[in-house]
């Protein structure tokens, strides 16, 4: 090795990374192409779906009547009316499901993280939640139909739908809450105990507020998911073209059910209602996801 003193920029020791060999560059190019290709394959259907829904549905939801009226008293081929009845149904069924499943889910998660430890009951609970996560929505719907309608003799109603949705929502809430509680640092709990504060108060005042933003985000995402479920509404609630505020009896529409119903309507009016309901559902779920982001920003624990 001859040293070239005329080159002052030359390093004393050669850099670790020398020129990249051809074979490595080829591998790199190949992998880059694959990754980008996979990305494009994933993005194409998404953009396509959004484009179709927006192109066909957007003109429909611009009409003010869409947000204020039902389809009551309209023939299949008659234009007009709106989706208020279905929007109401979707939101209320989701809300009631949330009111029932959020406390249950959070309490299960608190038990698992704070009290259960490695006990047999905790293990069994985790196992059950795992199984419940894998239950398809149609199975949950048929289960509720059997228990609530056939055995208990209750009628088909929006409340039955909410119960089926609870079965789908609880495991999601348990899972996200559990993860959030686990990442609360033990030092916070220990500091609280050191001040002589009882365990329950520590959980309520220290652990939950710290994890709250993550928990709420999880709840919002779970809600957004169950509101788009079609199987429970198909099995457990009959469609009604009018507004039914009563949760416990009578048929009640919801956006997925309205779409199923209008799919059998071959007229132009049916086509418009179908896509209008589709974009409305997408919008509502987007809104919930946005709300989840906002809430997690607002409630995030201050680090300073």
Are 84 and 68 spatial neighbours (Cβ–Cβ below 8 Å)? Answer: yes
CA distance 277 to 256: 8
The residue (of 94 and 116) whose beta carbon lies closer to another protein is 94
The residue (of 117 and 209) whose beta carbon lies closer to another protein is 209
CB of 101 to another protein, least distance (A): 16
CA distance 160 to 237: 8
Q: Residue 226: CB partners within 8 Å, gap ≥ 6?
A: 94, 97, 165, 168, 169
The residue (of 92 and 166) whose beta carbon lies closer to another protein is 92
CB of 235 to another protein, least distance (A): 11
The residue (of 63 and 179) whose beta carbon lies closer to another protein is 63
Q: Residue 211: CB partners within 8 Å, gap ≥ 6?
A: 177, 180, 181, 183, 184
The residue (of 112 and 233) whose beta carbon lies closer to another protein is 233
CB of 233 to another protein, least distance (A): 12
CB of 89 to another protein, least distance (A): 11
The residue (of 82 and 218) whose beta carbon lies closer to another protein is 82
Neighbour count for residue 51 (Cβ, 10 Å): 10
DSSP conformational letter for 135: -
DSSP string, 223-281: HHHHHT--HHHHHH----SS----SSSS----HHHHHHHHHT--SHHHHHHHHHHHHHH
CB of 81 to another protein, least distance (A): 5
CB of 298 to another protein, least distance (A): 6
CA distances from 302 to 6, 167, 205, 211, 294 (A): 57, 34, 15, 12, 15
CB of 252 to another protein, least distance (A): 9
CA distance 233 to 254: 8
CB of 272 to another protein, least distance (A): 13
Burial of 151 from C-beta contacts in 10 A (0-12 / 13-18 / 19+): exposed
Residues of the shown chain interacting with another protein in the complex, contacts defined by CB under 8 A: 65, 68-76, 78-82, 84-85, 88, 91-92, 95, 149, 155-156, 209, 212, 216, 238-244, 250-251, 261, 264, 266, 291, 295, 298-299
The residue (of 132 and 238) whose beta carbon lies closer to another protein is 238
Q: Residue 198: CB partners within 8 Å, gap ≥ 6?
A: none
The residue (of 88 and 275) whose beta carbon lies closer to another protein is 88
């Amino acid at each position: 090795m001859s040293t070239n003193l005329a080159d002052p920029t030359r390093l004393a020791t050669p850099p670790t990374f020398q020129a990249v060999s051809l074979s490595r560059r080829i591998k790199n190019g190949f992998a880059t192409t694959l990754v980008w290709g996979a990305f494009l394959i994933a993005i194409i259907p998404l953009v396509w779906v959004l484009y179709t829904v927006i192109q066909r549905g957007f003109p429909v939801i611009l009409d003010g009547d869409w947000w204020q009226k039902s389809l009551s008293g309209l023939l299949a081929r008659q234009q007009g009316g709106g989706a208020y009845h279905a929007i109401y149904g979707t939101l209320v069924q989701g809300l009631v499901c949330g009111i029932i499943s959020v406390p249950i889910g959070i309490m299960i998660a608190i038990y698992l993280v704070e009290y259960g430890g490695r006990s047999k009951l905790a293990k069994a609970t985790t196992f059950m939640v795992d199984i419940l996560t894998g239950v398809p929505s149609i199975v949950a719907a048929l289960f509720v139909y059997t228990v609530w309608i056939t055995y208990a003799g209750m009628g088909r109603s929006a409340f039955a739908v909410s119960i089926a949705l609870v079965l789908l929502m609880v495991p999601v809430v348990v899972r996200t809450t559990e993860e959030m509680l686990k990442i609360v640092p033990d030092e916070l709990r220990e500091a609280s105990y050191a001040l002589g504060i009882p365990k329950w108060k520590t959980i309520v005042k220290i652990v939950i507020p710290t994890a709250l933003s993550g928990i709420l985000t999880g709840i919002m995402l779970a809600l957004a998911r169950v509101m788009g479920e079609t199987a429970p509404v198909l099995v457990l609630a009959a469609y009604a073209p009018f507004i039914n505020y009563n949760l416990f009896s009578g048929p009640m529409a919801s956006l997925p059910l309205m779409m199923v119903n209008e799919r059998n309507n071959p007229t132009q009016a049916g086509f418009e209602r179908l896509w209008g309901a589709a974009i409305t559902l997408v919008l509502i779920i987007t809104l919930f996801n946005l709300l989840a982001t906002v809430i997690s920003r607002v409630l995030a624990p201050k680090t300073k």
